[in-house]
Amino acid sequence: MNAERTLIVAVGVLAIGLGLIFGFCHGNAGVSAAYPPSGASFQLSITTTGFPAEGGFAATVIGVVLLLAAFLQAIVEQVRWPHQDSKHQGSAAT
């Protein structure tokens, strides 16, 4: 499996997980601006219960793990191993 496919699956699973958590939540949010800016605040209080809480959390964790796997796959795909370069050069010369 290449990094692109893993990334697509990771984003999909992450969206499903966060969608379940935020889609079935109830709570409130508040923003307070102040001068000086150190007095400003942002408050977010949400509560999700039942299956959306469990399934959403599990899907979010799986999505984050897949996102990290896609990142590592992309790094490995960018590395050219020395023995692979010599094989390509040898076959092109003959």
The residue with greater pLDDT, 2 or 16, is 16
- Phi, psi dihedral angles at 75 (to 5 degrees): -65, -45
pLDDT value, residue 15:
96
What value, to the nearest 5°, has the Cα angle with vertex 75 and ends 81 and 60?
150
DSSP summary character for residue 94 = -
Q: Which pLDDT value is given to residue 3? A: 83
Mean pLDDT of 51-56: 94
pLDDT tens readout for residues 59-73: 999 999 999 999 999
Tokens 């370069």 belong to 85
The total of structural domains in the chain comes to 1
**Residue with more model confidence, 75 or 92:** 75
pLDDT band per the 50, 70, 90 thresholds, residue 88 = low
Q: Confirm whether pTM is higher than 0.95.
A: no
Domain holding 18, by residue range, is 3-93
